[in-house]
Structure 1
Amino acid sequence: MIINNNIFKLALLLLSLCTSFFAQSANKLEGVRVWAAPESTRIVFDLSKSPNYSHFTLTNPYRLVVDLKSSSNKVDLGKIANNSKLVKRIRKSSPPEKGTLRIVIDLTKPLKANLFALPPTAPYGNRLVVDLDGGSTKVKSKPSKPATALRDVIVAIDAGHGGDDPGSIGPSGMYEKKVVLQIAKKVAAKINATPGMKAVMTRTGDYFVNLNRRSEIARTSKADLLISIHADAFTSPQPRGASVWVLSMRRANSEIGRWLEQKEKHSELLGGAGEIIQNTDNEQYLAMTLLDMSMDRSMAISHNIAGDVLSNLGKVTKLHKHKPESASFAVLKSPDIPSILVETGFISNHKEERLLSQREHQNNLAKAVHKGVVKYFEANPPVNSLLASKSNTKHKVRSGESLSVIAHRYQISISSLKKANKLKSDSLRIGQTLVIPRA
């Protein structure tokens, strides 16, 4: 009897130790954050450890169910800040088994859900991210304007990072995502205040936009240029200064290959030509040639605009790089839209972090970016644009340039160039200013 009693006590002790060990090793839900965008919502579950999870969807009503294995809850789910138009509420539900934490996300409509875990990255710990995509809302199209109507030059302004992605963090705790949104809004306001130009922002608030989606927003808006605004950072506080980046040739070549594989995108990227080449035996070769030409044109325009923007930035802030740099940034990858990335300064530098937070400095940076963009498009206005109709472009003759070279550059005939400038011969002098008639 004594032996059996001791065995019973030992079993209780082991059970107690196992329960205690499980309690200590179990994952804990420590926070829930909701980041709402116009067409999507990101929900982030902050956890004490890397999650072991599964999920499924239900209808009538629409729900996403997330099961967190070996997990417990420390959050009052009824008090979560939720401004999403896609998520009604987030709540607990009866678990399928002991030790599992079941979370139910009540949805307003059927949504695409993408779940993935993220390791600790300052200022966050372990996370389970739930991306809910509502898709773009189709708006009834208005009657199209006559083909002769003059259009605005469209500039897509992309504020980097956002939502659960803070970007770089300065010494005093300033988030890159916040300061670049402030600067981006100022650039957009100046673009919109310029007759013949219009700005489209990829994000207008504190939410994350997928990198591919940023290019799609620009393309859907028929943008003539995409500008991505960022703030640089380094492991030491010494580096400082602004820089402007364009797509590297290596990334450009790999992107052309990727687009070639997506035949359904060819008509989107190449317009009517895409639909024509899909019906030919040499579709891939023709697409490759046209995509290559499109990328070459976009990169040439990007380099020119980057140079103009950088030149103006140098008048209002220190430069880290005095020439446009090339890199494989994903947001620059679109083959059909000229794109530049502006690093407004080093947020990791104490002085520049303080400068970047100041409204006057932000305004000066926005003015510099705006001035560089306007300079390019006034000199090279797109066909059928309001800017093209406002005045003729002027060109100062440089060494080695001839009438044929200049006419080819602006895609006009030599005769129209001579007529606009009342030239009786083909001879030009260096420094001579020519009026470039509209194509």
Structure 2
Amino acid sequence: MRSRALFAGIGVLLAAFAADVLAAAEVRGVRLWRAPDNTRLVFDLSGPVQHSVFTLTSPNRIVIDINGAQLATKLEQLSLSNTPITSVRSAQRSPTDLRVVIDVSTSVTPKSFSLAPNQQYGNRLVVDLFDPEAAGEATAPRVAVAPSTPQPPVTPTQPAPSNLPPVPGGKRDIVIAIDAGHGGEDPGALGPKGQHEKNVTLAIAKELQRQINQEKGFRGELVRTGDYFIPLRKRTEIARKKGADLFVSIHADAAPSRSAFGASVFALSDRGATSETARWLADNENRSDLIGGVGSVSLDDKDRMLAGVLLDLSMTATMSSSLNVGQKVLSNVGQVTSLHKRRVEQAGFMVLKSPDIPSILVETGFISNHNESQKLASPSHQQALARSIRTGVKQFFQQNPPPGTYIAMLRDQGKIAMGPREHLVTSGESLALIAQRYEVSMATLRKANSLTSDNLKAGQTLKIPAAALAAQP
């Protein structure tokens, strides 16, 4: 009887042991990307896990303990070139506890988090290894704090202070920040033949940078230079650090209907989207931060009202400039490809929410459409799209050059043939406010635009008389 009971007890233990093994999640894949300031590893899991991360020295290594997991992939296949990682090894400490050891050639600062499944991926464990010079930024809180004292509204085309090199004549370049959408573990939309939006956008962005840099007085700066993920809010931070006068985000999205086709240009909307397509695209783009595990940024409660006032003041001017440059870009893009909409659309894209930098998002076409996906993969079509965007941007800044730039100097010397400056009216703007902004009388504006009343409509274009240009920065 005792032996039978003993065997029964062992059987129960073995059954429980087997149940634990079966319950363990699998690490089904490991992906790696190198960014300018960090290396990201993403562990694709079959289910949720608990984990811990710690560092060891002499030699430097990162230890990742994943509880409730088994390895079901090969780590040796990871490409470690251009990263501080020298090797990745693993050991099954128990049937349900996996240890991964990352050997590194230098000291790095790890940051880790888990992600729940979304439309694109299952459960994931993300481990970012920040380079030494980026470690402080990696641990900084992601909270935007409003200024403690009121500040004047930002001039829409005036860049953030920077140590940018001057061009001939001691005048600086106009800086265009070019943002290739998606990247890294966020491939963006997929084409019928497996094309990744992230690759198409980077190719167009690099071509646009090349063409802009051929224009004297202009300089293109890439926000993303390779295949890695950048959170949406971080993209505008990078643009600001580069002293950008304009932020251009390049995309090639998908639509619910594969028959949808045509290019579009978007600016920020503070009152919802202008079309169902715009709303759908914005929702999908804004979800991409979930892939990278970035939470929302909130303002400090103490200064929330003040921050809202300041943002409203600067956003109004910036949105007007965004709509203006967007319309010029859209008109030129329409000369090389079909348009989805013939006016600049507005939607709540998070990547456009920079109050001090005019920003547009260019949907170069729908990669979900069979014909457009083939065109978007063509170098000649990419060059044509880049050329049309460059032309629209150049036209805008020749009419609206930021002070202190080489293009502004040419305008002041009469070396650029300029027609009247234009202002695209946004919701809530009045004729008095626009007259004050451009330092011109309301009577002059009425006469230049043949206005019979002071009532304005959103989307209306006003001509700013040439006589007022000298006074307007």
Q: TM-score range by the shorter chain?
A: 0.7 to 0.9
Q: Which of 178, 185, 196 in structure 2 is aligned with 1:157?
A: 178
- Alignment check: 8 A CA contact 1:57 1:64 kept: yes
Which of 99, 104, 128 is the matching residue for 1:102? 99
**TM-score, with length taken from structure 2:** 0.73
Residue 395 of structure 1 pairs with residue 419 of structure 2: yes
Please state how far the C-alpha of 1:98 moved relative to its aligned partner. 5.7
1:343, CA displacement in angstroms?
Answer: 0.9
Aligned equivalent of 1:223: 244
Q: What is the distance in 2 between the residues matched to 1:432 and 1:110?
A: 54
1:294 Cα shift?
A: 1.9
Question: Residue deviations 1:158-184, cap 9 Å, x none?
Answer: 001100111111121111111111111
The residue that corresponds to 1:244 in the other structure is 265
* Cα distance in 1, alignment partners of residues 33 and 272 from structure 2: 31
- Whole-angstrom CA distance in 1 between matches of 2:225 and 2:73: 29
Match of 1:280 in 2: none
**Which of 362, 379, 382 in structure 2 is aligned with 1:342?**
362
Cα separation, partners in 2 of 1:60 and 1:296, compared to 1, 3 Å: farther
Residues 382-432 of structure 1: per-residue CA shift (max 9 Å, x gap): 11111112233522599xxxxx99x96895789xxxxxxxxxxxx989899
Cα RMSD between the aligned structures? 3.7
Match of 1:394, SS state, is: coil
Match of 2:22 in 1: 24
Deviation, 1:302, is 0.4
Aligned with 2:365: secondary structure? strand
Does the 8 Å contact 2:264/2:339 carry over to 1? Answer: yes
User: What is the total number of aligned residue pairs between the two structures?
Assistant: 392
Aligned to 1:56: 54
Which residue identity is paired with 1:358?
A: S
Q: Which residue is equivalent to 2:350?
A: 330
Structure 2 stretches of 5 or more lacking a match? 137-161, 274-296, 423-430, 442-446, 451-462
How far residue 53 of structure 1 moved from its aligned partner, in angstroms, is 2.1
The C-alpha deviation readout for 1:251-283, integer Å capped at 9, x for no partner, is 89xxxxx786399xxxxxxxxxxxxxxxxxxx9
- Radius of gyration: which is bigger? 1
Match of 1:307 among 297, 319, 327: 327
Question: Mind listing any 5+ residue stretches in structure 1 that lack a counterpart?
Answer: 253-257, 264-282, 399-403, 415-426
**Cα distance in 2 for residues equivalent to 1:285 and 1:30:** 48
Q: Distance in 1 between matches of 2:306 and 2:49?
A: 48
Q: How big is the shift at 1:30?
A: 2.2
What TM-score do the two structures reach when normalised by structure 1? Answer: 0.78
Shift of residue 15, structure 1, vs aligned partner: 4.0
In structure 2, the CA distance between the partners of 1:45 and 1:350, relative to structure 1 (3 Å rule), is same
The 1-side partners of 2:381 and 2:23 are apart by: 50
Relative to structure 2, which stretch is displaced further, 389-398 or 174-183? 389-398
Please tell me whether residue 232 in structure 1 is matched to residue 240 in structure 2: no
- What do the CA deviations read for 1:107-153 (whole angstroms, capped 9, x no partner)? 4223251322241644x443211223335599xx989879x820100
Residues 72 and 59 from structure 1, CA distance in 2 versus in 1: closer, same or farther, beyond 3 angstroms? Answer: same
- The letter of the residue matching 2:300 is E
Partner residue in 2 for 1:115: 113
Pick aligned residue for 1:129 from 109, 126, 129: 126
Alignment of 1:74-223 (within 5 A): 74-92=72-90, 95=93, 99-107=96-104, 108-119=106-117, 121-122=119-120, 124-134=121-131, 135-136=133-134, 149-223=170-244
In the alignment, which residue of structure 2 is the partner of 1:375?
Answer: 395
SS of the aligned residue for 1:377 comes to helix
- How big is the shift at 1:244? 1.0
Deviation (angstroms), 1:321: 1.6
User: Residues 316-374 of structure 1: CA distance to partner in whole angstroms, max 9, x if unpaired?
Assistant: 11111211111111111111111111111111111111111111111111111111101
